[in-house]
Amino acid sequence: MAETKRPADETAGPANPKRFVNDSASVVQDCLDGLLWSTPNLGRLDTYPDIKVVFRTDWAKDKVAIISGGGAGHEPMHGGFVGQGMLTAAISGETFASPSIDAVLSAIVHVTGPKGCLLVIKNYTGDRLNFSMAAEQARAQFGLKVDIVITKDDVATVAERGIAGTLFVHKVVGALAEGGCSLEEAKIVATQVIDSTASMGVSFSSVGRLTSERIHRQKMEVGLGIHGEPGARIEDIGTSAKVVEAIMEGIMAGDRMKAEAPEGYACLINNLGGVPPQEMCIVTADLMKSKWASSIKLLIGPASLCTSLDMNGVSLSLLRLDSKLKELLTQPTAVVPWPAAVVPQAPKVFAGISGLDPLEKYTPSEDKEVSAVLVKICKQLIAAKTLLDDLDAKVGDADCGSTMAAAATKVLEMKDKLPMADPQAFCQCLGAILSRVMGGSSGVLLAIMWSGMATSFKKQGAKTWSDAGPRAFKDGLEAMMLAGGASPGSRTMLDALVPAADALVAGTGFAGAKKAAEEGAEATKTMTPKAGRSENVPESAWRSVEDPGARAVAISFADLA
């Protein structure tokens, strides 16, 4: 697989040097200090920086202690899950590095009482060795009851790494311990959870904060580890639905999920660190629209639970349920990052209020010339989506093209329902459509323009576009300027719209309007913003850059002449 090329000036040092850190040597302890400042009932041992142990300060040592830990970089795992109903203590190593034997031993000795403690270890060599050795020392030197379990939920590779499914153990055994179970019972239930859990992840990127990008722009890795280890395979990048399918097919094909699940599964939906919440919700929706939805009885997430710094990926973990596990998963916990395990429910849909459909009171009618103009404008705006978004990225919020294209697409979908032979009704409908489907200030301003045009047609008593169209266009722009407060020279779409309207009023037709709109858009490059998207950006951003709204107007007229 060819590696993505990086500019020469970015090849040295971390792949992403723009980070909210003070000193790379103290990242982990600074992170843990932030956790302690913001979380009640947590404390740490005074053994910083070599030994980093977070524990419950409300712990009375009267129950089985549940301890876990590992390398940092997976936040909120592990320290974020210390609290009533989950972990008693967590030990952190450096980023992606196991904590030392002394660190684990310190945690065991500090929180373990007469009922003993259970160490939850993820199946990585460093964790297995250090945690197991610390358990031996705790038994031999301090006479403590210590037992261990090793999670191995990753079914993507033969290594059976412990990843996000480990959190099922934290929650189930944490709730069990809170109820006063014995160490022996805690281990039995933890083992049951481990044997009934399977996880798999997909990522579009490696750990960009630490390494150069190795995953090609059009590829995704299936089954890569939470430390950025290479995945089980590389595939062409897919939609959210395809990613969900790839993960679920992989989980269900493994031996772990071959046993019957009459009571269904709990599913943990995990953000590996770099996926926006919006996209995590899409992943969740795709999961619950998939063929596996009926078997998923509890949902946990979507949330950042076991991350891999800024990896742009997701993982799913399934736990085969029985009534006892379901009860323990749904018991309350004081741990803030843990989302409640909920029974998934299909979206409840209720009837909307009547009267919002802009076309319900009009009869469709045909006008071939109007239809041709409308189709040309819409197709031009759809084709210009990327151009306008790129332009808007320089002076605004990078959505001008997307907004225009979405509105144009909707108008095309509704074209055959429009009363095209009645100019007043047509303008009224188009204004109502834009007010409903086109977001941002451009949407409402264009809706006002079309509504103003409808009012103008009514006042003029005109029945055809040739009679009153140019005058109506001008009146619509007057309504827009009155509502928006901008005017020509403000560096907005008006700088192309008004000259185009003036050309039509002067009788130069679409050819004159095209020329005037083009010149108006070009002129915005040197205009000082007095309104619109560029008003609050520095001159260095807008100087010599066209206003995207004005360019959209010029594009709209480009094919009409």
Q: Write out the catalytic residue numbers.
A: 227
Q: Is omega for the bond preceding 488 within 30 degrees of 0, making it cis?
A: no
Q: 179: which strand partners?
A: none
Structural contact between residues 146 and 138, judged by C-beta atoms closer than 8 angstroms = yes
Quote the CA–CA distance of 275 and 316 in Å, as a whole number: 14
Strand order in the sheet with 197-203: 233-236, 219-222, 197-203, 313-320, 265-271, 296-303
Quote the CA–CA distance of 240 and 310 in Å, as a whole number: 18
What are phi and psi for residue 193, nearest 5 degrees? -65, -45
Token pair of 438 as six digits:
């086109």
Q: Which sign does the torsion angle of CA 505, 507, 510, 515 carry?
A: negative
Per DSSP, the three-state class of 313 is strand
3-state secondary structure 8-37: HHHCCCCCCCCCCCCCHHHHHHHHHHHHHH
Give helix then strand counts, H and E, for the chain: 18, 12
Residue 287 is which amino acid? L
Total residues belonging to the chain:
561
Structural contact between residues 116 and 106, judged by C-beta atoms closer than 8 angstroms = no
Q: Which sign does the torsion angle of CA 349, 351, 352, 356 carry?
A: positive
DSSP 397-466: -S-HHHHHHHHHHHHHHHGGGSBTT-HHHHHHHHHHHHHHH--HHHHHHHHHHHHHHHHHHHHHT--SHH
Structural contact between residues 276 and 308, judged by C-beta atoms closer than 8 angstroms = no
Of the candidates 90, 85, 86, 62, the one whose C-alpha atom is nearest the C-alpha of residue 74 is: 90
Per DSSP, the three-state class of 283 is helix
Structural contact between residues 147 and 116, judged by C-beta atoms closer than 8 angstroms = yes
